[in-house]
Chain A
């Protein structure tokens, strides 16, 4: 039976996706040197396993998977992050929503760096890779409830660091309560 797989050259992969992989790595690692190192490692792995790529259209996602795999493996000794309970408050969402170019990039980098790596990964998957919570659950092989909980907390904490909107304490929050 003929092999109908479409072949793709590693150089083509580099040309097409090195920027996207680097940006992803930068947001995970928080610095240009680690990001470049991680990017190079991703393409080295990709070169070794290129035969596994059956659909060239899936190359971007495949490279991101290699990247996440390596990043997660580096976190094996990470202690579980203690994240408190989440209170819902409309005050936690800035009243004046900034434009993308009004968000301080250095502050964003620092804010991400202060989050536990697994929460950071979820945020990068959500904001950069444009994954839904279901996509994240599927790709990280986690229960939906776990992803919803972690992602929601990570988003609130990122906003708190970026915009100073600390999640309110229970007793002082102006809560939007469920009826």
Chain B
């Protein structure tokens, strides 16, 4: 092949490529075929019925794919969890939630830059030292896995409580390993007929839910998960007052010996108190 023949082949390939791209991105009946970017396609569609048919077929396929893209089940209680986290952020109990919460937003860290001009060199030295100390602190905070806040824990438990329709199993005579490692808290009363079920993921870890709904009592569940690190704001016994009383649910969390307990009761503060073992101390 001579040089001009090679150039012509190259031009043809480039033309085909442009046409292919235009065919893919142009939505029939929506994008303007007169758009200069689509000019090669407009000419070819008018001249070649098989191409027009392929374009129409592609349009139908894209429509089906758009439907599939939008079909994503939304988890129960998502809005509530978002609102809970927003409230926590507003209250300043979660000062690092935006800065350090997700690697996806790691770049949104908002440190305040001192704007004041320092006149003395020793001031600058102090600032540099302070900045280095702050950076080290921030790095330590960011490198550490983020712990859940109390409000997030309660929101997750209430969401699970509301979402669950599963009836668990009665407690067996010989407890399996999962129950031995996730025992119910002695601080909570255990009415007859307690049922349990395993939760594959609760706050990013397996958990057990004990259904404490007595025959005449309110619906109630105790969630138990292993959580070795001390969680901020939680005591080692159930609080005297529920820490969340919205939506007809009273809930509270505590942490004892590396185990996180969250009690959710359908009802009021009074119903919550009814589930606490009177012989045990409260936080």
Contact = CB atoms under 8 A, between A and B. Distances in A.
B44 interface: yes
B69 A124 contact: yes
A101 B250 CA distance: 40
A23 B82 CA distance: 15
Interface string A42-53: 011101100000
Given A14-B82, A98-B64, A132-B27, A23 B72 contact: yes
Interface in A14-73: 14-15, 18-19, 22-23, 26-27, 32-34, 36-41, 43-45, 47-48, 70-71, 73
Contacts of B48: 176
Given A41-B104, A74-B106, A130-B66, 19 more contacts: A11-B86, A39-B82, A43-B85, A44-B85, A44-B86, A70-B105, A71-B104, A85-B13, A86-B20, A88-B17, A97-B60, A101-B71, A134-B31, A134-B35, A148-B25, A151-B25, A152-B24, A176-B48, A178-B44
14 contacts: A18-B79, A18-B82, A26-B72, A36-B75, A38-B102, A38-B104, A41-B102, A43-B82, A47-B86, A70-B104, A103-B67, A126-B25, A152-B25, A156-B24
Interface of A: 10-11, 14-15, 18-19, 22-23, 26-27, 32-34, 36-41, 43-45, 47-48, 70-71, 73-74, 76, 85-88, 90, 93-95, 97-103, 105, 108, 123-124, 126-128, 130, 132-134, 144-145, 147-149, 151-152, 155-156, 158-159, 175-179
